[in-house]
Each structure stands twice: as structure tokens, then as C-alpha cells.
């Protein structure tokens, strides 16, 4: 693991809320808002930017937790900015806090965690689960 990031570092991504990001289930669309599950996926991607910078070729990141608190909705077509801040870097633990904004309006905030593991360890975990 390359120690090229430090606590307090920030990574940002932006995206436009699309139909695929809405709260839609087998019974149909619930509302035209950015769904929690889509938000979770995108927050994971924003926080993963740290892992991508720090992992070696024989390593991979694996999520350990995700906590999201919605503060206001983002609508279909809104451009959201996800700001991930590195809050803990200890051993192979990479934890972040995040804010999701539409312009200056806070849409969501929370925390996300990952560990950087050797790919062979990830493969062993998969084999143990499948056994």
C-alpha cells in the first residue's frame, strides 16, 4: 500500500442524476429523487478514489461500512457533487466522511470505510464463502 494520501485530503466527483438513479422498484417509480441505493453506489465511488491512488497492483479495496443521512432530495437532472474527505488512515484501513451537494444545498452526509487487502486474500475470502 502506497501512503500517498493523508488525513484531511479531499476527492470530489460530480454526476447528473439520471433515470437509472431514481427510486424505482418492481412496482414502479416511487418518486423523481436520487435513490439512497444509487447515492450509496456513487459515494462508494467517490471514497474509492483514495484506494485507487494507494493500492498496489497486487491489492484491492473492500468496503467495510456505509452510513448515509439524507438532508434534502436531489431531483432527476440535478448535478450533484460528492466531496469525500479522508478521516482515518491506519494500517490498511481507509475511512472517509462525505457530503453530497446540489449547488450549496446539502443533500446527504455520512461516512464510508474500506480496507486495502492483497488480492490473494480477497480470493481466499471468496473461496471460503463458496465452500
* pLDDT tens for each residue of 27-41: 988 899 999 999 999
Average pLDDT over every residue of 109-123: 96
Cα angle value 60/65/69 (rounded, 5°): 135
Give pLDDT, residue 54: 97
Residue 24 clears pLDDT 90, i.e. is over it = no
- Going by C-alpha positions, the residue among 29, 5, 17, 32 that lies closest to residue 82 is 17
Give me the residue spans of the domains in the chain.
Answer: 10-130
Average pLDDT over every residue of 41-49: 97
Q: Say what percent of the chain tops pLDDT 90.
A: 92
* Mean pLDDT over each residue of the chain, to the nearest integer: 96
Kindly tell me the burial class for residue 57, based on how many C-beta atoms sit within 10 Å of its own C-beta (0-12, 13-18, 19 or more).
Answer: exposed
Residue 50 clears pLDDT 90, i.e. is over it = yes
Residue 116 clears pLDDT 90, i.e. is over it = yes
Cell numbers for 2, please give them. 502506497
54 in Cβ contact with 94 (< 8 Å): yes
SS3 114: strand
pTM of the model: 0.92
Residue 21 clears pLDDT 90, i.e. is over it = yes
Given CATH 3.90.226.10, say whether it is the number of domain 10-130. Answer: no
CB atoms within 10 A of CB 120: 11
95-112 pLDDT tens trace: 999 999 999 999 999 999
Amino acid at each position: 500500500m502506497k501512503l500517498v494520501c493523508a488525513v484531511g485530503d479531499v476527492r470530489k466527483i460530480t454526476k447528473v442524476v439520471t433515470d437509472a438513479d431514481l427510486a424505482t422498484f418492481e412496482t414502479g417509480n416511487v418518486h423523481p429523487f436520487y435513490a439512497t441505493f444509487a447515492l450509496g453506489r456513487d459515494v462508494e465511488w467517490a471514497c474509492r478514489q483514495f484506494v485507487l491512488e494507494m493500492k498496489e497492483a497486487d491489492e484491492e479495496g473492500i468496503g467495510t461500512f456505509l452510513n448515509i443521512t439524507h438532508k434534502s432530495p436531489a431531483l432527476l437532472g440535478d448535478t450533484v457533487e460528492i466531496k469525500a474527505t479522508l478521516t482515518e488512515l491506519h494500517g490498511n484501513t481507509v475511512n472517509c466522511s462525505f457530503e453530497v451537494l446540489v449547488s450549496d444545498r446539502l443533500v446527504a452526509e455520512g461516512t464510508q470505510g474500506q480496507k486495502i487487502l492483497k488480492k490473494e486474500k480477497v480470493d481466499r475470502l471468496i473461496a471460503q464463502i463458496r465452500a
